[in-house]
Amino acid sequence: MLEKAVIAVPMGDPAGIGPEITVKALSQQEVYEAGKPFVIGQTDILEKAVDVTGVNLKLNEITDPAEADYQFGQIDVINLNNVDTPSWEYGEVQAQCGWAAYEYIKKAVELARDKKANVIATTPINKESLRAAEVPHIGHTEILADMTDTKDPLTMFEVRNLRIFFLTRHLSLKDAIDQMTAERVYDYLKRCNNALQRIGVENRKMAVAGLNPHSGENGLFGTEEVDEITPGIEKAKQDGLDVEGPVPADSVFYQALQGKYDAVLSLYHDQGHIAAKMTDFERTISVTNDLPFLRTSVDHGTAFDIAGKGIASSVSMEECIKLAAKYAPHFTGAAT
């Protein structure tokens, strides 16, 4: 029997709900039954999160994952102590919080690359706080890509039995359409197939979502499907991939949820995000492929409006950690 995965959890922007959902998630016994989580953050802010949420936990400071006890009822914490708490406030854009969140991620990456953690399960960070701290990246995926020299990480959402990949991410719709070339579609379908194979999906059947209404009706409502998307799909089929499409976007995600497809390639950010979050907002988990390690993440923001009130749901964070534990053996060979 494989050992449980060691899971690094950077606590996110200290001004947001990250610390709260972290301590709430780690107050659930099934999380520890799934894996061995530890937190990278700041002890006094996590103590405040314990107070406002009312969970019954104690904190155990460590300097290395090997020192952690991984016991239910106790949170093992690597304390970076990088926030001036007297000037820290909940729910505010603060440069120090943006930089602190960045450093938590950096530490998690270092531990993962040193094989001291098997996987990383991330909490929300704030784009404005990152900008205030002059961090030159817009979000987690871009930060992780830079830290690991990964050219183009592949994002996958998983919610229930629905998996969604994304051809483009943080681009305007106009710019995203310019990226929908036959070669990119072909390349992504190969990468999606490899990602599914890596997590143990056999007999992989994929679909590509259409861009235009009814997938363009053979050029009546737009030519992108005819000119670029279909040729990319046909090239993937020639390589032996089992892929259909473009399938109209108003039905393809439902069909995948019902089991017709193992995954859908969404062409742009909101197309796939809407489908996943309407299926189950709290249980939509992001998986970043093509990094040197596995990374899972909640797919919601820092929720500054409710930070510090103890009311944020931790369901997504719980699912995030459990999914990291589930897929860790496929990425590491064996959890350690």
Q: What is the pLDDT, as a whole number, of residue 6?
A: 96
Mean pLDDT of 230-253: 97
Residues 6+ away with beta carbon under 8 Å from 284: 157, 158, 159, 276, 277, 299, 316
- Phi-psi region at 253: left, alpha or beta (left = phi > 0; alpha = psi -120 to 50): alpha
Mean pLDDT over each residue of the chain, to the nearest integer: 93
Q: Beta 154-159 vs 285-289: how paired, if at all?
A: antiparallel
Q: What is the pLDDT, as a whole number, of residue 54?
A: 96
288-318 pLDDT per residue, tens: 988 999 999 998 899 999 999 999 999 999 9
**What is the spatial distance between Cα 272 and Cα 26, in angstroms, rounded to a whole number?**
29
**What is the spatial distance between Cα 273 and Cα 271, in angstroms, rounded to a whole number?**
6
Q: What is the pLDDT, as a whole number, of residue 137?
A: 87
246-264 pLDDT per residue, tens: 999 999 999 999 999 999 9
206-224 pLDDT per residue, tens: 999 999 999 988 889 999 9
Helix/strand/coil for 130: helix
